[in-house]
């Protein structure tokens, strides 16, 4: 095998690479659901869109190959047809956008982290080349883990074109429960593997997924914790995500200036105002800056935006 | 420089005798080209910083090392660097149940951690076969897997934060024990980087709850194809068992000689499948696995009847590599991953390649992940055997790559699989991998000459390998 | 530093190691130091360097070989069945032959073991000196050595009870308890006393292979003309006598080794002959002597024999890792023996047991010295039977 043969053959990816080229300021837009993350794009930047389409769904491999411009909703519909699902959150955006932001699904405990589900990523580099990173199988430690670096990089290191994601079987049953008198941490501790436990200062929600018999057993186990009743859906989440230790999230009773919802066992908290910023460590910032200058020496990818 | 190191640590924790340098030139791989400089045994983060700064001052490289059980030569020193043996930093610093995390030093042994958590009802999920000896630091370096990673994911999914000494000597914390923080996932980039991005000095691992119910099935088959098909069909049926492991007849017999766990000796392949979770679902899933196996002509179906039997079956599976010396003194091991549905075909090719090169081939593998471990047996004392092993190995790797596989599922690239990197990645791909490496370690001072093949690596591998003995005077 | 030395190791045994490292956590010296040179894998690698590549035996190499406790925990852990114990014994024997081992000095010390009366006299002297605090503590002597003890009476002709050397001088009460338990099971006991002065285990471990062979031959002669079972209440001695067949490689020696049983092993096979009595109200943790667990591999029988006689049996959580006694090891390497013992004591502490049962005098002395309440399993069984009779 020669090296030339290793480059992806999909013409759609090549035309995306050609469009992006190797000069000029560019940014890739999805549906703009997190457009302001990392700062506003500088004026005068050419806005491109990533290619769309689901290339291959392989339920027996628990993988799917999908182009970055595809809507997460469309991906999830296609997966549902074969009894599978992904770890990506559905909030109206694209696959590429979800990965560039790297935000987890509310059910991260059940679905896994977005970062862990990206098996392979093909992106267009600042030099306009298609780079393949990772591999299309569920387990891989061949070489440096570029998919991890790209996921959550807000498009500042490369323009995501196509990914292979790990999928999982869709559980046969899904049930949200809510209680007004249950301790959130105790609820979490009582359950074996809940998909999500939420707490808003007075109510506790629990999302149980799996075999019907297991969901029933977990429900039953919660009787000693509080009075739980079936709920149609999780609560509305305030706009701003905070990162806390799981302990702090569980012991939160109020957030100044509004409502909050905390994810127990995870440490994510949603509030009406942003979390106070913590300054980035200077030595760590050196690594960030070096990565940016090595991957995008001319600063043409998403100028104005920083991770 | 030795004086500086000894002043920073202590005389007895900086070794430079011939005996130690010989021992630290090797790990569990067959690679023979290592050359060790001084060996340091730090006991604190500050000492690791001192070592790093002294190394940089003297323009020397450093190579971190755990228990030395790596199979691809990742911890082998090239070019007489300072070997930093992390085995004395082996304290479990804090088990924080409320936050679901344990902070450990990198020298903590994997199984020791899980054992110390078991009383509290938790475990550290990655369980590589060497878990009784390998260290958490080594697990992080190799993004170690193990049989139970099928359901729970490899090390990466279980490491929340890492304190790292960078080549500059600075200490940074990658990742966080707090909820998902957005931004560059430097923690994720570090896990699996084979000790090339810095030296981990503290690791925060995620605690996993012990499952309320476990069912272990021992299934045997008259053909490897039936076993492989069963694995593929189980996953296609929407079941993700905690583990699915296959062993062929030869390796099963070697294992059985050692443990006497009751593995059937006459089957062409045995499949060890484990389902974990809540009682009801475990029963349903194990019953469905049995049905899938039956429809694939299972020869025997057995459920482990006690915890002791289960432990013995796993002991057999996990000591399989070591048991090989009963048959031949040397072995060479590959670690490719192929799509699950291609398992049966690839295995047939592997046996055929072995036969053509007149080599004994055995297979013991994480079937659920499609992670093959073809083992080529040989006797290094017989002229020409190793050459045949390399030739057959290359063909096996190509057969795996040809069906969309990858070089390594959990052992890493190290020095042994470097040449194959160019068969999986284009030169542009590898160039970007090198950019990741240089983001952390611009001068390539930490574990130089690993992972990336010649021409791409930060350091000139040939130059590293040709440094004469006695360079340290 | 030396010139090239042929260690005379069996190349097949040496090549059996694939350097996988699975032995590392089972090696007490690796466990407490984290050093490759102090691990079985490291030691084998250095043996190869010396034997196959002519590497000199430097101070470091000698340290590697001489710090092995010879617990043989690595053998139980080795999937390739490398006979590490034989390799290290042969290595030491070769070093003794070359005159570069401290074992040469050991020869003088171990000579005393062949003279039971001398040993008992010396013990009485040591005991008095010890009580007067004249013996430095790091010598690791038991806190209270007996001054004088009554001889074990012969009660019949069914079985031999091997009395040996140091144990007979220092822990004769264990022999007495074992003899009473055997009698309670209806076995007439003949103590071996002067018939076999010493089994030679410590000599073999030190690489004094000529002495070890001579003592083995003497033992076989002393108990020949008879096919009675030979019961041993010291795990180290039992392991050594079971190995006579391999070591001497004669039909006579093999037949002798076939007759050797650990006393717990023997009783586990004759449980129905022991009286049924109320168990002692004690929680007992078993500390497996390495030579029972890793060499004789009959440590489970201790549990079978003991469990009817105590209320609670507890397993320690350290996979049978050595306690650091190692025969002469605790005297020769007191610092490392102490660190290894600290690990064992931590495990004992976690177990919460009242008493630790060990079927080996070395382990008992070493652990008792750290303040652990030690008893031989025979003493516990004996006490339970006596309590029932009282």
Gyration radius from chain C CA atoms: 20
Q: What is the CATH number of domain B220-311?
A: 3.30.70.3450
Which of B28, B41, B329 has its CB closest to that of C21? B28
Gyration radius from chain B CA atoms: 22
What is residue B469's predicted lDDT score, i.e. its pLDDT? 45
Which of C18, C45, C58 has its CB closest to that of B18? C58
- CB contact at 8 A, B270 and B363: no
CB-CB neighbours of A293 under 10 Å: 13
Tens-digit pLDDT profile for residues A134-169: 999 988 999 999 999 999 999 999 999 999 999 999
Cα separation of A293 and A288, whole Å?
9
Burial class (CB in 10 A: 0-12, 13-18, 19+), C144: exposed
A85 strand-pairing partners: A168
What is residue C101's predicted lDDT score, i.e. its pLDDT? 75
Rounded mean pLDDT of A195-216? 97
Rounded mean pLDDT of A92-112? 95
What is residue B329's predicted lDDT score, i.e. its pLDDT? 81
What is residue C118's predicted lDDT score, i.e. its pLDDT? 63
CATH architecture designation of domain B328-420: 2-Layer Sandwich (3.30)
Q: Which of residues 181-210 of B touch A (CB under 8 A)?
A: 181-186, 188-189, 191-193, 209
Cα separation of A79 and A95, whole Å?
13
Which of B17, B68, B331 has its CB closest to that of C58? B17
The length of chain A, given as a count of residues: 307
Helices (H), C132-160: none
Cα separation of B34 and B24, whole Å?
8
Rounded mean pLDDT of C156-179? 89
Residue A1 pLDDT level (bands cut at 50, 70, 90): very low
Task: Give CA C42 to chain center in angstroms.
Answer: 24
* Structural domains of chain C ordered from first start: 11-101 (1.10.1060.10), 113-267 (no CATH), 276-389 (3.40.50)
Contact C20 B322 (CB under 8 A): yes
Q: Specify the 3-state DSSP secondary structure of B312.
A: helix
Contact B331 C18 (CB under 8 A): yes
**B·C CB contacts under 8 A:** 103
Reported as type and span, the H/E element at residue B85 is strand B82-85
Question: Which residues of chain C are within 8 Å of residue B326 when distances are taken between CB atoms?
Answer: 79-81
Please check whether the two domains, B89-209 and B220-311, share a CATH topology.
no
DSSP assignment of C51-110, as one string?
HHH-----HHHHHHHHT-----HHHHH-TT---HHHHHHHHHHHHHHTT-STHHHHHHHH
Pick the CATH number of B89-209 from 3.65.10.10, 3.30.465.10, 3.10.129.10, 2.40.10.10: 3.30.465.10
Q: Which residues contact A240 (CB under 8 A, 6 or more apart)?
A: A270, A271, A272, A273, A274, A275
Helices (H), B9-163: 18-23, 45-57, 110-118, 136-142, 149-152
In this predicted structure, which of A220-224, B314-318, C21-25, C98-102 has the lowest mean pLDDT?
C98-102
The interface pTM score, or ipTM, of the predicted complex is: 0.95
User: Which tokens belong to A185?
Assistant: 């941490």
What is residue C2's predicted lDDT score, i.e. its pLDDT? 65
Give the domain ranges of chain B: 89-209, 220-311, 328-420
Question: Which residues of chain B are within 8 Å of residue C78 when distances are taken between CB atoms?
Answer: 322
Identify which of B405, C130, B251, B70 has the alpha carbon closest to the alpha carbon of residue A142.
B405
Cα separation of B424 and B420, whole Å?
7
User: Which tokens belong to C188?
Assistant: 């007439």
Question: Which residues of chain C are within 8 Å of residue B17 when distances are taken between CB atoms?
Answer: 58-60
Beta strands (DSSP E) in A236-297 are 240-243, 260-263, 268-271
Beta strands (DSSP E) in B257-336 are 269-277, 300-303, 330-333
pLDDT score of C112 more than 80: no
Angle between helices B343-356 and B224-236 (to 10 degrees): 150
Q: Which residues of C206-241 are buried (b: 16+ CB within 10 A; e: fewer)?
A: bbbbebbbebbbbbbeebeeeeeebbbbbbbbbbbb
Q: Does the beta carbon of B174 lie under 8 angstroms from any beta carbon of chain A?
A: yes
Chain C contact residues (CB < 8 Å to B): 15-22, 24-25, 33-37, 42, 45-46, 49, 55-56, 58-61, 64, 77-82, 317
DSSP assignment of B324-353, as one string?
GGGT-SEEEE-B-B--GGGHHHHHHHHHHH
> Are chains A and C in touch, 3+ Cβ pairs below 8 Å?
no
Contact A244 B340 (CB under 8 A): no
- CB contact at 8 A, B122 and B207: yes
What is residue A2's predicted lDDT score, i.e. its pLDDT? 39
Tens-digit pLDDT profile for residues C291-349: 999 999 999 999 999 999 999 999 999 989 999 998 888 888 899 999 999 999 999 99
Question: Which residues of chain A are within 8 Å of residue B180 when distances are taken between CB atoms?
Answer: 103-104, 108, 113, 241, 243, 266-268
pLDDT score of A279 more than 80: yes
pLDDT along chain B (473 residues), means of 10: 94 94 92 91 98 94 96 93 97 96 97 93 93 96 90 93 97 92 89 97 97 95 95 93 94 89 94 96 96 96 92 88 79 91 93 95 92 91 90 94 93 91 94 96 93 74 55 38
- CB contact at 8 A, C264 and C305: yes
Q: From residue B178, how far is each of A248, B97, B269, C84, C147 by CA, in Å? A: 9, 14, 45, 48, 66
Cα separation of C319 and B363, whole Å?
29
Identify which of A104, A74, A88 has the alpha carbon closest to the alpha carbon of residue A165.
A88
What is residue A256's predicted lDDT score, i.e. its pLDDT? 79
Cα separation of C171 and C362, whole Å?
10
Q: From residue C288, how far is each of C148, C270, C338 by CA, in Å? A: 29, 21, 18
Interface test with A, best of B180, B241, B424 (most A CBs within 10 A): B180
């Amino acid at each position: 095998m020669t090296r030339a043969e290793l480059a992806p053959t999909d013409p759609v990816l090549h035309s995306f690479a050609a469009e992006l080229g190797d000069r000029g300021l560019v940014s890739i837009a999805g549906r703009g659901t997190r457009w302001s993350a990392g700062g506003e794009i500088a004026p005068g930047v050419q806005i491109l869109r990533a290619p769309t389409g689901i290339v291959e769904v392989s339920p027996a491999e628990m993988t799917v190959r999908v182009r970055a411009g595809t809507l997460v909703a469309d991906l999830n519909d296609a997966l549902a047809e074969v009894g599978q699902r992904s770890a990506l959150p559905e909030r109206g955006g694209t696959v590429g956008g979800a990965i560039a932001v790297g935000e987890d699904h509310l059910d991260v405990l059940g679905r896994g982290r977005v970062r862990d589900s990206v098996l392979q990523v093909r992106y267009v580099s600042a030099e306009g080349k298609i780079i393949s990173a990772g591999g299309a199988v569920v387990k891989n430690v061949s070489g440096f883990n570029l998919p991890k670096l790209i996921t959550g990089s807000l498009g500042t290191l490369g323009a995501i074109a196509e990914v292979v994601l790990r999928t999982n079987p869709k559980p046969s049953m899904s049930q949200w429960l809510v209680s007004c008198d249950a301790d959130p941490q105790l609820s979490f501790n009582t359950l074996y593997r809940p998909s999500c436990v939420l707490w808003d200062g007075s109510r506790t929600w629990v999302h149980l997924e799996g075999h019907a018999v297991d969901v029933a057993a977990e429900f039953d186990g919660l009787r000693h914790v509080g009075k739980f009743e079936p709920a149609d859906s999780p609560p509305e989440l305030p706009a701003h995500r905070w990162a806390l230790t799981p302990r702090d999230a569980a012991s939160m009773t109020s957030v100044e200036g509004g409502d909050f919802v905390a994810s127990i066992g995870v440490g994510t908290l949603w509030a009406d105002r942003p979390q106070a910023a913590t300054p980035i460590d200077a030595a760590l910032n050196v690594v960030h800056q070096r990565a940016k200058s090595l991957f995008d020496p001319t600063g043409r990818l998403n100028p104005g935006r920083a991770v | 420089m030795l004086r500086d190191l000894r002043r920073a640590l202590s005389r007895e924790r900086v070794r430079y005798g011939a005996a130690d340098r010989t021992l630290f030139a090797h790990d569990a791989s067959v690679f023979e080209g290592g050359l060790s400089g001084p060996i340091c045994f730090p006991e604190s983060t500050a000492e690791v910083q001192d070592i790093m700064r002294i190394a940089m001052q003297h323009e020397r490289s450093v190579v971190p090392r755990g228990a030395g059980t790596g199979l691809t030569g990742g911890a082998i020193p090239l070019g007489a660097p300072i070997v930093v043996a992390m085995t004395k930093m082996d304290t479990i610093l804090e088990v924080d149940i409320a936050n679901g995390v344990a902070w450990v030093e990198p020298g903590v042994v994997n199984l020791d951690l899980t054992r110390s958590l078991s009383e509290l009802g938790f475990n550290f999920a990655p369980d590589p076969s060497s878990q009784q000896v390998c260290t958490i630091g080594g697990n992080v370096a190799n993004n170690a897997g193990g049989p139970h990673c099928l359901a729970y994911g490899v090390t990466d999914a279980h490491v929340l934060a890492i304190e790292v000494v960078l080549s500059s000597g600075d200490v940074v914390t990658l990742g966080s024990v707090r909820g998902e923080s957005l931004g560059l996932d430097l923690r994720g980039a570090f896990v699996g980087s084979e000790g090339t991005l810095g030296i981990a000095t503290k690791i925060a691992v995620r605690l996993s709850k012990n499952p309320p119910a476990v069912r272990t099935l021992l299934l045997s088959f008259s053909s490897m194809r039936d076993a492989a098909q069963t694995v593929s069909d189980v996953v296609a049926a929407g079941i993700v068992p905690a583990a699915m492991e296959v062993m062929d007849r030869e390796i099963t017999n070697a294992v059985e000689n050692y443990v006497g766990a009751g593995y059937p000796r006459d089957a062409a392949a045995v499949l060890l499948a484990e389902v974990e979770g809540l009682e009801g679902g475990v029963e349903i899933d194990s019953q469905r696995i049995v049905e899938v196996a039956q429809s694939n002509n299972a020869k025997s179906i057995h459920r482990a009847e006690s915890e002791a039997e289960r432990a013995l079956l796993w002991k057999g599976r996990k000591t399989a590599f070591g048991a090989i010396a009963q048959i031949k003194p040397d072995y060479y091991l590959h670690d490719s991953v192929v799509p699950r549905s291609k398992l049966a075909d690839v295995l047939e090719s592997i046996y055929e390649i072995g036969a053509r090169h007149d080599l004994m081939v055995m297979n013991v593998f994480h079937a659920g992940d499609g992670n093959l471990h073809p083992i080529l047996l040989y006797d290094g004392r017989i002229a020409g055997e190793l050459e045949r092993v390399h030739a057959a190995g290359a063909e096996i790797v190509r057969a795996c790559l040809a069906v969309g596989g990858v070089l390594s599922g959990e052992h890493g690239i190290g020095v042994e699989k470097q040449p194959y990197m160019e068969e999986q990645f284009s030169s542009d791909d590898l160039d970007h991998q090198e950019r990741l490496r240089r983001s952390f370690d611009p001068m390539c001072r930490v574990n130089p000459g690993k992972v990336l093949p010649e021409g791409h690596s930060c350091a000139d591998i040939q130059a590293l390998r040709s440094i004469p003995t006695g360079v340290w005077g | 530093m030396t010139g090239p030395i042929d260690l005379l190791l069996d190349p097949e045994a040496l090549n059996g190691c694939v350097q996988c490292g699975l032995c590392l956590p089972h090696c007490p010296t690796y466990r407490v130091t984290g050093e490759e040179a102090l691990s079985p894998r490291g030691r084998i690698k250095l043996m190869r360097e010396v034997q196959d590549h002519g590497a000199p035996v430097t101070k470091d190499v000698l340290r590697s070989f001489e710090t092995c406790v010879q617990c043989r925990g690595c053998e139980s852990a080795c999937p390739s069945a490398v006979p590490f114990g034989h390799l290290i014994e042969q290595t030491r024997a070769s070093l003794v032959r070359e005159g570069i081992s401290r074992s040469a000095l050991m020869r003088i010390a171990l000579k005393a073991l062949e003279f039971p009366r001398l040993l008992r006299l010396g013990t009485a002297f040591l005991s008095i000196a010890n009580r007067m605090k004249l013996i430095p503590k790091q010598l690791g002597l038991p806190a209270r050595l007996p001054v004088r003890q009554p001889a074990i009476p012969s009660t019949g002709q069914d079985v031999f009870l091997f009395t040996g050397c140091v144990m007979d001088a220092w822990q004769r009460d264990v022999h007495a308890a074992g003899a009473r338990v055997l009698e309670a099971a209806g076995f007439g006991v003949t103590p071996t006393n002067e018939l076999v002065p010493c089994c030679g285990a410590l000599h073999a471990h030190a690489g004094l292979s000529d002495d070890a062979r001579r003592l083995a031959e003497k033992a076989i002669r002393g108990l020949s003309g008879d096919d009675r079972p030979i019961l041993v209440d010291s795990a180290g001695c039992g392991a050594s006598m079971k190995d006579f067949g391999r070591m001497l490689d004669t039909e006579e020696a093999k037949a002798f080794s076939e007759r050797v049983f650990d006393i717990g092993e023997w009783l586990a096979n004759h449980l129905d002959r022991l009286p049924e009595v109320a168990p002692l109200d004690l929680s007992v943790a078993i500390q497996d002597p390495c030579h029972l667990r890793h060499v004789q591999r009959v440590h489970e029988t201790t549990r079978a024999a003991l469990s009817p006689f105590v209320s609670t049996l507890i397993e320690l959580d350290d996979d049978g890792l050595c306690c650091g006694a190692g025969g002469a090891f605790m005297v020769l390497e007191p610092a490392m023996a102490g660190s290894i013992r600290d690990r064992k004591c931590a495990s004992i502490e976690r177990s919460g047991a009242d008493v630790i049962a060990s079927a080996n005098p070395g382990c008992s002395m070493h652990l008792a010295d750290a303040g652990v309440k030690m008893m031989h399993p025979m003493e516990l069984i004996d006490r339970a039977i006596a309590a029932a009779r009282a």
